Homo-oligomer: A and B are copies of this chain.
């Protein structure tokens, strides 16, 4: 493979000059610039990034960590979009993106330390689910910039993160339902083990308060994310004296069971009962009827987390912070 030396020789200049031309340093005459570029084209030369990495002590690489076996980590359908967003930003910076699974015989710490010390990765993006105090300390100690995808609670100080604005998401959902004429709105699918779930509930409560609607005891339902639970819990709601006329689903699979329960009872969607579900872009339009959702721009989340990471890498002094990506309601057929 042709190296800088061969270019230099062919152009009758020193390697320094070629290097400066390639990195368009200002102190090169127009003449040599053109001459050297001509040779570069002719010989089809591309600089060897590895040599560059060695001398500059930069790898031009960031890493995306995943825990494939942890259901609290990136969810399958999300991952692609997140990665896409990150990768896009990387390309703009001419960095490359390495993907590594942390769930192996190697411990998380060892994996990260390998990436940083052996592979010389310059930054790390990881799901908040695999982050803990120990790991934060490790990362800080190594001085490696990182950003978490998912909101990091206040216990972890000085950690940068990006998340969906879950709270505002359900707020919007409630307002939307209210504006369409629904007045008795319930929330199904609080999963206390998941932070985002708790935030979605907060949004619900806050919107209900703001609208001066009242929340009956049975309006907040705790259950995990499955169509079976959706079915069961919705059925319970339908058997109440005063059943709700709208449902906010805290999570995607739930809505499948919710819809089934409603139609099984012979009720009409969206006339009798309206439904809004969170995310699940893929599922939403596959169901009958297609589900109105709080849409989540996962690509943007990836893109922004990369942006934040590069800020950290470039100016080491960025104020650590969190960023919330706003959601929007996509009306389909489960709401008036």
User: B-contacting residues of A (Cβ < 8 Å)?
Assistant: 1, 46-51, 53-54, 59, 61, 66, 68, 76-77, 79-81, 83-84, 87-88, 91, 96-101, 104, 106, 113-115, 117-120, 227, 253, 256, 260, 282-283, 286-288
Residues from chain B with a CB closer than 8 A to the CB of A61 are 98
Residues from chain B with a CB closer than 8 A to the CB of A120 are 48-50
B101 touches A98 (CB 8 A): no
Chain A contact residues, majority secondary structure: helix
Partner of A227, one of B48, B115, B286: B286
Partner of A51, one of B54, B68, B96, B113: B54
Instruction: Report how far A282 CA is from B46 CA in the complex, Å.
Output: 44
Assess A99 versus B97: contact at CB under 8 Å? Given A46-B114, A51-B54: yes
Instruction: Report how far A1 CA is from B88 CA in the complex, Å.
Output: 30
Question: Within the complex, what minimum Cβ distance (angstroms) separates A299 from chain B?
Answer: 9
Residues from chain B with a CB closer than 8 A to the CB of A114 are 46
A100 touches B99 (CB 8 A): no
B286 touches A118 (CB 8 A): no
Assess A119 versus B49: contact at CB under 8 Å? Given A68-B84, A99-B87: yes
A101 touches B84 (CB 8 A): yes
B96 touches A97 (CB 8 A): no
Instruction: Report how far A36 CA is from B88 CA in the complex, Å.
Output: 43
5 A/B residue pairs, CB under 8 Å, sorted by A: A46-B114, A49-B118, A77-B282, A79-B79, A83-B99
In the complex, what residue of chain B is closest to A227 when comparing beta carbons?
Answer: B286
A256 touches B288 (CB 8 A): yes
Residues from chain B with a CB closer than 8 A to the CB of A283 are 283, 286
Instruction: Report how far A287 CA is from B253 CA in the complex, Å.
Output: 10
In the complex, what residue of chain B is closest to A290 when comparing beta carbons?
Answer: B227
